């Protein structure tokens, strides 16, 4: 059983379901409105925990109703929250999500406390990082804190997994130097490498570019087609499961959390781990909401 420490974002998601996306200036009636747990970091932690990994979290919430709700939800999952700080002068992160009948979404995020915790807080929970098999991070919280966490992990022989989302134009070199595995989607890959992903040759070229930055393992998620991987001397595409998607929110997060729960530290079972991640995310997209849609291990059997 893997031990995963996630460093990153905790958001309260407010989802609005509509028939089609509104055009600028358009007013429309909604089909449904609901709140649920979200944030890329929290989603990935929930996915890892529901796949039975021992899961720790390092992040922050505000001293408000949304923060209280998120602490309670993550605590009910059995995620270790010693590393989650309550910040007095910050609001808890929140996301406003519009989902249409085709399952496409549009998301607006207020980062709040996610962008206010510091490397000092990470140092205070270095023991959680050192006792992990993998440390997972995204770009919805402070980069300085992520660099600190990955540096501690690298020195302790703990593998680091970076999900470079939402995409950033300039990713600090010092972060890439301490990243063992990177998991971008097609858009993020193009921003990171300058290579437009169109076929397997361009996927391989993008992966080679990322290897040159010092990253050992590359997984590029390619939506309904599945995931391309390149590690050591192995590469290829692990196809996605064909399902009827109703809401793609948290699909990528589910993939990363579930995959990291079964991945071996030497990446020797990467293909099998990707297939497991694909299976988990194929269930997520058939349900509404972020965390409510993430499957448990027994559902994947």
What is the set of active-site residues? 253
In this structure, are residues 227 and 236 in contact, taking their beta carbons and an 8 Å threshold?
no
Residue 61 Cα distances to 67, 114, 166, 197, 295, angstroms: 5, 7, 20, 36, 25
Element (H, E) at 227: strand 226-231
CB of 194 closer than 8 Å to CB of 208 = no
CA gap 135, 161 in Å, rounded: 6
Helical residues (DSSP H) of the chain, grouped into ranges: 40-50, 65-77, 119-124, 126-130, 143-155, 173-176, 186-193, 200-212, 251-262, 270-284, 297-300
- ∠ CA 143-15-108, nearest 5°, is 40
Q: Which of 125, 117, 178, 123 is nearest to 147 (CA)?
A: 178
Nearest-angstrom CA–CA distance, 49 and 51: 5
Provide the 3-class DSSP secondary structure of residue 253: helix
228 bridge partner residues: 220, 237
């Amino acid at each position: 059983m893997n031990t995963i420490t996630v460093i990153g974002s905790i958001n309260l998601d407010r989802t609005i379901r509509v028939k089609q996306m509104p055009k600028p200036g358009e007013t429309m009636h909604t089909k449904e409105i609901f709140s649920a747990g979200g944030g890329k970091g929290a989603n990935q932690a929930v996915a890892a925990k529901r796949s039975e990994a021992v899961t720790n979290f390092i992040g922050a919430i505000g001293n408000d109703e949304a923060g209280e709700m998120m602490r309670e939800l993550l605590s009910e999952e059995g995620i270790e929250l010693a590393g989650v700080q309550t910040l007095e002068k910050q609001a808890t992160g929140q996301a406003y999500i519009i989902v249409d009948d085709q399952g496409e979404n549009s998301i607006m995020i207020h980062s709040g406390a996610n962008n206010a915790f510091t490397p000092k807080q990470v140092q205070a929970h270095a023991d959680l990082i050192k006792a992990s098999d993998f440390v997972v991070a995204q770009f919805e919280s402070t980069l300085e804190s992520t660099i600190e966490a990955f540096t501690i992990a690298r020195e302790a022989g703990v593998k680091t997994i970076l999900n470079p989302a939402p995409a950033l134009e300039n990713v600090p070199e010092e972060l890439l130097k301490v990243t063992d595995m990177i998991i971008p989607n097609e858009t993020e890959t193009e921003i990171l490498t300058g290579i437009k992903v169109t076929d397997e040759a361009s996927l391989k070229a993008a992966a080679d570019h990322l290897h040159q930055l010092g990253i050992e393992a590359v997984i590029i998620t390619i939506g309904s087609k599945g995931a391309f991987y390149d590690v050591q001397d192995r590469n290829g595409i692990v196809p996605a499961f064909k399902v009827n998607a109703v809401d793609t929110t948290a699909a990528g997060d589910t993939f990363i959390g579930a995959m990291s729960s079964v991945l071996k530290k030497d990446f020797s079972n990467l293909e099998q781990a990707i297939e497991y991640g694909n299976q988990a995310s194929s269930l997520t997209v058939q349900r509404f909401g972020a965390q409510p849609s993430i499957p448990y291990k027994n559902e994947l059997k």
